[in-house]
């Protein structure tokens, strides 16, 4: 009997685990505007899944440039028909530098106009996908177990519902237009949780009245408005394909089993979270690998002074300001440190012998080198978390999107500074660089942030594998906040407050009526008695 019970227990255990073994996962990146940095984050998520024995199949537009996606990130690829040639995709990728430059110099009205100019791009990949009936049919027949998506505007949530497959969202930033806490029913108190997605004002979790006012306007007005404008094409596709007419696009996004979010409290502020809002901040940071011979010789030649890394991310390779580039090159030439500068374009005349200019740098490996003293960066989430993991102070020159918020957090945590590239002078840059290099507080705070990043129960890679397999075995319904099932009045308990107010008023009026009635009767008796007397 004991043997039979043991066998039954083993069978039940295998049955509960088997759905997660060798699962077939679709890595959907249908948008035409994913950047190399997003591909790097997606690779960091899918590589451990492939190593765990799962199939991961990439879905992308034909001719799309997938720079940044590692060879071990997927086991197969499916390309659907695209309206763009390979040359057009390459041209678009090259133009991203210009777009970020425009965003960095624009006021809110100009940013809105820039959105309008590029609005057609946001739904282009989705239109191409749902027009390619052959690919849709093959996806149906493939019987995928799960979809992983890094949504720009939410097309892959439509695909998941169309194919009747559960899906998981991956956000390469703290939040995006369609991956916010609101979509998951998570409370976001505007009084102490900075909500900015695209904003140039510095935020912290200690906000004065002006910032709290701006914060609530961004969350309740600006973000929903931008989301509504940018998802118009998807709403049309949803209607044309008759995908869940009973749900809005926002509600479809909220049906995700999980959201993997680039978040870590080594850098971010404490805030309410739900079980299906999973932090994977620092997932692209890995143990540094040996440098190439020429790079190793260059950094070792820096001696005790160490070296500085200067890069503006995967999409931006130049400052688009020759005067500023010359000033920066001059300041670098005055330093005892050596400098590795990722730069394309005309070589500045003031480049010193201590500066190595290259069109590519192994960023993570350099950050993990013991002689790394500082990184000058645009503030993208992946690089900021890599520097935080390796304990390297930062000087940030934010350009657009979440980079401003990242810069604010680095300053608040005390392991870096931020400068405005558009108004930056030679003296300001010199002062900021020398301050970070000579003030020990930046190094101390960076080491503390690094220790916090590393002090966790499981690595981000292990976390991804665990939660993906958990969803494959059990689904994600038990992790989803019931706030998504309530309307605004119910969620904020306004209906309960109104009911209690009504009851209170009824009690007051009842008491008043009883008191008035009693008083009237007493008065009437007194009057009657007076007349008798």
pLDDT digits (tens, 9 = 90+) for 224-252: 888 888 888 888 899 999 999 988 888 88
Global pTM reads 0.82
Q: Look at residue 529 in the predicted model and tell me its pLDDT.
A: 62
pLDDT digits (tens, 9 = 90+) for 297-308: 898 888 889 999
Angle at 211 between CA 210 and CA 212, to 5 degrees: 90
**Which residues, other chains included, contact 236 with Cβ-Cβ below 8 Å and sequence gap of 6+?**
123
Angle at 99 between CA 157 and CA 175, to 5 degrees: 40
Tokens 């401003």: give the residue.
Answer: 404
What is the SS3 assignment for 431?
helix
Q: Look at residue 258 in the predicted model and tell me its pLDDT.
A: 92
Q: What is the DSSP letter of 121?
A: H
User: Cα–Cα distance between 152 and 121 in angstroms, integer?
Assistant: 10
Q: Look at residue 165 in the predicted model and tell me its pLDDT.
A: 93
Q: Look at residue 434 in the predicted model and tell me its pLDDT.
A: 92
Classify each residue of 59-73 as buried b or exposed e, where b means 16 or more C-beta atoms within 10 Å of its C-beta: bbbbbbbbebbeeeb
The two most distant CA atoms of the chain are separated, in Å, by 121
Under-70 pLDDT residues of the chain: 1-21, 89-120, 197-204, 313-321, 526-533
Cite the beta strand spans of 175-332 per DSSP E. Answer: 258-261, 277-279, 307-310
Residue ranges of alpha helices (H) inside 257-380 are 293-300, 322-333, 363-367
Query: What number of CA atoms fall less than 13 Å from residue 187's CA on the CB side?
Result: 8
What does each C-alpha distance from 427 to 160, 347, 411, 423, 430 come to in angstroms?
53, 22, 20, 11, 5
User: Cα–Cα distance between 238 and 137 in angstroms, integer?
Assistant: 17
Tokens 């960091």: give the residue.
Answer: 44
Q: Look at residue 203 in the predicted model and tell me its pLDDT.
A: 58
User: Cα–Cα distance between 521 and 526 in angstroms, integer?
Assistant: 9
Q: Look at residue 11 in the predicted model and tell me its pLDDT.
A: 38
CA dihedral defined by 470, 68, 409, 95, rounded to 10 degrees?
-130
Q: Look at residue 38 in the predicted model and tell me its pLDDT.
A: 83
Which one, of 284, 244, 245, 246, lies nearest residue 264 by Cα?
284
Write phi, then psi, for 76 (nearest 5 degrees). -160, 170
């Amino acid at each position: 009997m004991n043997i039979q019970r043991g066998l039954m227990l083993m069978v039940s255990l295998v049955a509960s685990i088997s759905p997660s073994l060798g699962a077939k996962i679709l890595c959907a990146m249908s948008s035409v505007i994913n950047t190399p940095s997003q591909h790097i984050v997606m690779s960091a998520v899918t590589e451990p899944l492939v190593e765990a024995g799962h199939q991961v199949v990439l879905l992308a537009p034909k001719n799309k440039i997938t720079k940044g996606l590692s060879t071990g990130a997927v086991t197969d690829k499916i390309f659907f028909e695209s309206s763009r040639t390979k040359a057009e995709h390459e041209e678009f990728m090259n133009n991203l530098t210009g777009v970020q430059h425009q965003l960095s110099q624009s006021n809110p009205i100009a940013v809105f106009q820039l959105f309008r100019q590029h609005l057609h791009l946001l739904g282009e990949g989705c239109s191409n996908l749902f027009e390619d009936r052959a690919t849709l049919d093959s996806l149906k027949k493939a019987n995928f177990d799960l979809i992983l998506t890094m949504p720009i505007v939410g097309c892959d949530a439509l695909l998941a519902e169309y194919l009747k497959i559960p899906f998981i969202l991956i956000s390469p930033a703290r939040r995006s237009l369609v991956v916010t806490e609101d979509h998951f029913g998570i409370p976001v108190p505007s009084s102490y949780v900075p909500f900015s997605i695209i904003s140039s004002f510095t935020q912290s979790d200690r906000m004065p009245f002006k910032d709290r006012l701006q914060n609530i306007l961004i969350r309740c007005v600006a973000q929903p408005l931008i989301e509504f404008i940018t998802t118009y094409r998807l709403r049309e596709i949803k209607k044309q394909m008759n995908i869940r007419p009973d749900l809005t696009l926002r509600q479809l996004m909220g049906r995700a089993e999980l959201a993997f979010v680039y978040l870590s409290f080594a850098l971010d502020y404490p805030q309410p979270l739900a079980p299906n809002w999973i932090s994977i901040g620092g997932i692209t940071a890995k143990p540094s690998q040996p440098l190439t011979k020429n790079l190793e010789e260059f950094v070792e030649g820096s001696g005790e002074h160490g070296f500085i890394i200067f890069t503006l991310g995967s999409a931006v390779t130049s400052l688009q300001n020759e005067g500023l580039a010359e000033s920066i090159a001059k300041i670098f030439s005055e330093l005892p440190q050596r400098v590795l500068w990722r730069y394309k374009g005309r070589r500045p005349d003031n480049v010193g012998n201590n500066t190595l200019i290259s069109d590519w740098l192994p960023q993570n490996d350099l950050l993990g080198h013991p002689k790394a003293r500082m990184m000058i960066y645009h503030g993208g989430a992946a690089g900021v978390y890599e520097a935080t993991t390796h304990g390297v102070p930062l000087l940030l020159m934010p350009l657009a999107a979440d980079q401003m918020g990242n810069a604010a957090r680095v300053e608040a945590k005390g392991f870096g500074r931020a400068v405005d590239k558009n108004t930056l002078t030679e003296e300001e840059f010199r002062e900021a660089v020398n301050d970070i290099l000579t003030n020990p507080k930046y190094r101390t705070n960076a080491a503390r942030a690094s220790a916090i990043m590393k002090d966790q129960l499981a690595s981000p890679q292990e976390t991804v594998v665990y939660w993906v397999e958990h969803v494959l075995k059990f689904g994600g319904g038990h992790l989803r906040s019931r706030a998504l099932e309530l309307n605004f009045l119910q969620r904020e308990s306004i209906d309960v407050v109104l009911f209690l107010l009504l009851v209170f008023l009824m009690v007051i009026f009842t008491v008043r009526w009883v008191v008035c009635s009693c008083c009237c009767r007493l008065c009437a008796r007194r009057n009657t008695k007076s007349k008798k007397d």
